[in-house]
Structures are given as structure tokens and as C-alpha cells.
């Protein structure tokens, strides 16, 4: 039996007004004040973290059942990391989570460094790999509609790729704008995040990862698209989706409902309104 360590990484800033979700503020065409944007992000982050706890518990239960059947199977251990910056924000992030009460597992906090998002992301990954972890799956705090199964399947794919390759492989889930909502590597994966984010060279993040993987011959597993929430259109989509998830939960109890986010949106009276759509192909010859 081989013990392997795996990290679920929440890569995030703390919910500080004016520093998060600024495209949702009224001055940028959104519905919120800076304080409301921060509150929205905090609630999203709580829900994402909560569903992460369920996913890690499920993975541990699945591994325990596997070990019971085969004592020589890998003993997979899962830890939850929060990476933020600068260093003084660590205590703020810690307090943000502790304000909600006791969580079911320990949180490990690290500070990421760099002069760009790509460098900060690389630094967080490198720190965790240097601690002896075999794989990292990273998510953001602004994806409240993330299915629990995405985290489970993300790690399952990394475990599989670890066995069929030289311990390398990538798993990802696209977002709605050619980026990624979830990204994970095995330890020996010979790529980094350099040149990926914010399209500084005109190349979307999803294409950047594909090109890096193709260049090195690294296999990629892709999960279904999960939308993050950056602007008003994203918010409308997520709000409608969360309301449907709440109703569908009655039939599909495995559907995680991000109630902290949804309750707050309902409490402040957010309504999703779509104007009539006349931008469609003519179908008079059909409808007539």
C-alpha cells in the first residue's frame, strides 16, 4: 500500500469591498455596491468551501471501501488549502471562515507570491508540491454552481492519469468565457501557468493550457463547463440556475444547493428579467 497526499486548493482573495467582484458594482454596470459585491463573493466562497467538504468526505469514503476490498490499493489522503495574498490577508481569510463556525476538517493557509496572477498561481502550486503532495486540484471562490461530483471526478481522473503515465496529467473544467473554473495537475506534470491568464498575448486560458499540454504530450481530462460569476450577465445566469437547483433538489437530493448565496440573493430581491428576443433565425415558414 502506498500513501498518497492530495490537495484541494481554494485560490482566492478575501472578500474586501472594492477588491472583489468589481464588475458587479453599479459603477461598472452591475446591481451591487462594493460592500454588496464583497458580501456576495463571501457567500459564494462559503458555498464552494462547503461543497468541497462534502466532496472530500465522499472521496475518503470511496477510498476506504476500496482499501477494504484491496489492502494493496493506494491510501489516498485529502487536505484543503486556502491560498491568498499578501501575508496580512491570511488572518482576514482565516477569520472569514471561522466567523461561520466550525468546519469539518482542518484548513491549511498559505501565502502566494509573484508579480502576476500566473506567478502567484505557480507559487501556490509549487509550495504545495514541495510539501510532498502528489496532486493538486484548484478552484476559485466564485463558482457556487460547481457540482460536488466535479471535485470527486477531478481527483479520480488525476489518480487514473497518475497510474497510466509517468505520474503526470491535467484535469480541467472550462468556464463560460474560454477560461477554466477548475484546474489540476499531478506532481510530475511538466507545465506551469505562465502565459495563461488575462489573455496578455491574445490567447484564452483554455487554449493556453491545451497548447502547453500538446507541446509536452501531457494527457488532459476535461469535465463539463461550470460558469463563474464576474459580471451582471453571469449573475443572472447563476441566479436562475441556483433557483432551479433548489427545486431540482427535491427530485435529485444529490444536487448541492448553494443556499448561503441563494438566500442572500432572494433576501435583497434579485430578479432575473430577460427582454423579448428578436435575434433569431426566421421561422415564419415553419410556424405558419
In a domain, 8, yes or no: yes
Looking at the chain, the whole-number percentage of residues with pLDDT higher than 90 is 92
In a domain, 272, yes or no: no
In a domain, 275, yes or no: no
pLDDT of residue 61 exceeding 70: yes
Supply the pLDDT for residue 276. 83
Lowest mean pLDDT segment, chosen from 120-124, 134-138, 223-227, 280-284 = 280-284
H helices of the chain, in order, are 34-69, 89-98, 117-130, 148-164, 205-216, 232-248, 259-267, 284-287
Supply the pLDDT for residue 220. 98
The enclosing domain of 163 has a CATH number of: 3.90.550.10
Question: What is the arrangement of strands in the sheet containing 170-174, beginning at the earlier edge strand?
Answer: 107-111, 75-84, 3-11, 135-139, 180-186, 170-174, 220-222
In a domain, 240, yes or no: yes
In a domain, 173, yes or no: yes
Mean pLDDT, the chain, integer: 95
User: How many angstroms separate the CA atoms of 18 and 281, rounded?
Assistant: 42
Supply the pLDDT for residue 208. 96
pLDDT digits (tens, 9 = 90+) for 65-79: 999 999 999 999 999
201 three-state secondary structure: coil
Provide the residue range defining the domain that includes 143.
3-267
pLDDT digits (tens, 9 = 90+) for 192-222: 999 999 877 789 999 999 999 999 999 999 9
In a domain, 286, yes or no: no
pLDDT digits (tens, 9 = 90+) for 121-165: 999 999 999 999 999 999 999 999 999 999 999 999 999 999 999
pLDDT of residue 246 exceeding 90: yes
Phi, psi of 270 (to 5 degrees): -65, 125
- DSSP annotation of 224 reads P
In a domain, 282, yes or no: no
Tell me how far CA of residue 231 lies from CA of 17, 20, 196, 251, 262, in angstroms.
16, 11, 21, 31, 17
Supply the pLDDT for residue 202. 85
Supply the pLDDT for residue 275. 84
Would you put residue 42 in left (φ > 0), alpha (ψ -120 to 50) or beta? alpha
In a domain, 17, yes or no: yes
Supply the pLDDT for residue 254. 95
- How many angstroms separate the first and last alpha carbons of the chain? 69
pTM of the model: 0.95
Supply the pLDDT for residue 274. 86
pLDDT of residue 286 exceeding 80: no
Could you give the number of structural domains in the chain? 1
User: How many angstroms separate the CA atoms of 10 and 137, rounded?
Assistant: 9
Amino acid at each position: 500500500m502506498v500513501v498518497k497526499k492530495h490537495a484541494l486548493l481554494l485560490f482566492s482573495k478575501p472578500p474586501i469591498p472594492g477588491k472583489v467582484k468589481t464588475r458587479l458594482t453599479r459603477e461598472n454596470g452591475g446591481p451591487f455596491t462594493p460592500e454588496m459585491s464583497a458580501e456576495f463573493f463571501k457567500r459564494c466562497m462559503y458555498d464552494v468551501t462547503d461543497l468541497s467538504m462534502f466532496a472530500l468526505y465522499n472521496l475518503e469514503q470511496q477510498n476506504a471501501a476500496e482499501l477494504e476490498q484491496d489492502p494493496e490499493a493506494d491510501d489516498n489522503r485529502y487536505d484543503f488549502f486556502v491560498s491568498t495574498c499578501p501575508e496580512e490577508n491570511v488572518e482576514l481569510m482565516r477569520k472569514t471562515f471561522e466567523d461561520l463556525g466550525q468546519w469539518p476538517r482542518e484548513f491549511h493557509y498559505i501565502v502566494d507570491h509573484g508579480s502576476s496572477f500566473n506567478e502567484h498561481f505557480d507559487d501556490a502550486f509549487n509550495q504545495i508540491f514541495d510539501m510532498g503532495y502528489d496532486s493538486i486540484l484548484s478552484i476559485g471562490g466564485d463558482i457556487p454552481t460547481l457540482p460536488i461530483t466535479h471535485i470527486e471526478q477531478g481527483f479520480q481522473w488525476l489518480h487514473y492519469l497518475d497510474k497510466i503515465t509517468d505520474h503526470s496529467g491535467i484535469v480541467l473544467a472550462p468556464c463560460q468565457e474560454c477560461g477554466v473554473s477548475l484546474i489540476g495537475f499531478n506532481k510530475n506534470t511538466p507545465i506551469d501557468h505562465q502565459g495563461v491568464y488575462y489573455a496578455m498575448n491574445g490567447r484564452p486560458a483554455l487554449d493556453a493550457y491545451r497548447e502547453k499540454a500538446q507541446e509536452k504530450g501531457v494527457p488532459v481530462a476535461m469535465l463539463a463547463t461550470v460558469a463563474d460569476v464576474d459580471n451582471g450577465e453571469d449573475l443572472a445566469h447563476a441566479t436562475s440556475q441556483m433557483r432551479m437547483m433548489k427545486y431540482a433538489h427535491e427530485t435529485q437530493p444529490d444536487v448541492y444547493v448553494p443556499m448561503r448565496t441563494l438566500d442572500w440573493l432572494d433576501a435583497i430581491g434579485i430578479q432575473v428579467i430577460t427582454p423579448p428576443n428578436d435575434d433569431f433565425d426566421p421561422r415564419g415558414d415553419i410556424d405558419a
